[in-house]
Amino acid sequence: MLSASLKPPPSLPAISPSSRAPALPAASFLSLLPSRGRVRLSAAASEGATVSQEDAASVSAAFEEARLAQFAADWKAVRADKDQGKILTLPVLRSNTGGLILKYNSMQGFVPNPLLSPAHWSKDPKRPIQDVTKDLVGSSVSVKVVEANEAEKKLVFSEKDASWSMYSSQVKIGGTYDGIVGSVFHYGAFVHLRFPDGKYHLTGLVHISEVSWDLVQDVQDFLTEGDIVKVIVVNVDAEKSRIGLSIRQLEEDPLLETLDKIIPLEPDLSPDAETASSPPEIELLPGLDGICNELLQEDGITDVRFGRQALEKRVVSQDLELWLSSVPAKDNQYKLLARAGRQVQEVYLTTSLDQEGVKKAVQRVLGRVP
């Protein structure tokens, strides 16, 4: 019996892979384990899930940190661009009724319609601005930063400012341009200037006083949006980015036409000879006599006499205006031109003053006389 019990047990047949029991689902496997083992494995599974949630939260926090860092870097960069006056070329993402939305690195900025270049709509000024801006989506525009407020998340660009930087150096006083009338106001009209490339890059103002030699009480009686006009540059203010324009200075001054054509100058320019040419039916301009008396009170002015009179074709101003002729003095005589309504009167001053001295004397007198 003892020897039998010490015999090795009979060998078991080998189990081929195909004869193994099919693998059980994890759930079935867990159900076969003692309850203690199930608790242990369930706890491990729960711990693994907790680790995954922590990883996701960590990734999300890292992403947010990187996003905020990028925003901070972009705000710093855009403030530097503003301070340097840098011209940026940025893509247009979309448009709305108020303007364009541009992409600046990770941020978006806004170009209000009034800050767009006139080049976009000048050729067809009556086209709705919303249609114009819609066509710009997908293109790129050149702009400058005009406001970068990180606290208020406000980023504003101006295409007009960029155009000024690029094209204003070409604008010189005395230069003439073809233009299209834009907005018209009681104080004047804005005119978009056509450059050699055929585009209207800059805008200038024709003040009401520079619209016409005629008396202008309402600018809209003379100019309408979309009108084609020719203008001359009379002022360029680089500091304020403003251009002053004139229409009337490209036309002949009706005052000169009156004196030189209606009453031609005679060889004898003495006051007596000129007075003889004066139409007898025209009376002296109201207030002119008092101005002349005041001129005689100025040091250096010894005599004041009236010369020719004439009627202009058009009313230039209802107020009395006094002009100093640019004609050089002859025998210490300067000629003033007084005008009001259609009436023109020549006034001759005999003086020891030079032209600048006469000008200052006239200005002082006009300051005293109501």
pLDDT in tens, 237-293: 999 999 999 999 998 776 666 566 655 544 444 444 333 344 455 577 888 888 999
Judged by DSSP in three states, 176 sits in strand
3-state class percentages of the chain: helix first, strand second, coil last, to nearest 5: 35, 30, 30
Only one residue has tokens 């039916």, namely 281
Give yes or no for a contact between 101 and 92, defined as CB atoms under 8 angstroms apart: yes
Q: Where are the domains of the chain?
A: 68-164, 171-250, 288-368
The CATH architecture of the domain made up of 68-164 is Beta Barrel (2.40)
In the three-class reduction of DSSP (H, G, I as helix; E, B as strand; rest coil), residue 160 is classed as helix
The share of the chain scoring above pLDDT 90, in percent, equals: 48
184 close to 221: Cβ distance less than 8 angstroms:
no
125-148 pLDDT, tens digit each: 788 999 999 999 999 999 999 999
Q: Do domains 68-164 and 171-250 have the same CATH topology?
A: yes
Do 109 and 75 touch, CB atoms closer than 8 A?
Answer: no
265 vs 106: which has the higher pLDDT: 106
Q: Is pLDDT above 80 for 192?
A: yes
Relative orientation angle of helices 288-295 and 355-368, to the nearest 10 degrees:
120
- Per-residue pLDDT at 219 exceeds 70: yes
Mean predicted lDDT score pLDDT of the chain: 80
Q: Which residues pair with 269 in a beta bridge?
A: none
Rounded CA Rg of the chain: 44
- Per-residue confidence (pLDDT) for residue 258, from 0 to 100: 59
- Identify residue 185 by its one-letter amino acid code: F
Answer yes or no: pTM beyond 0.95: no
The CATH homologous superfamily of the domain defined by 171-250: Nucleic acid-binding proteins (2.40.50.140)
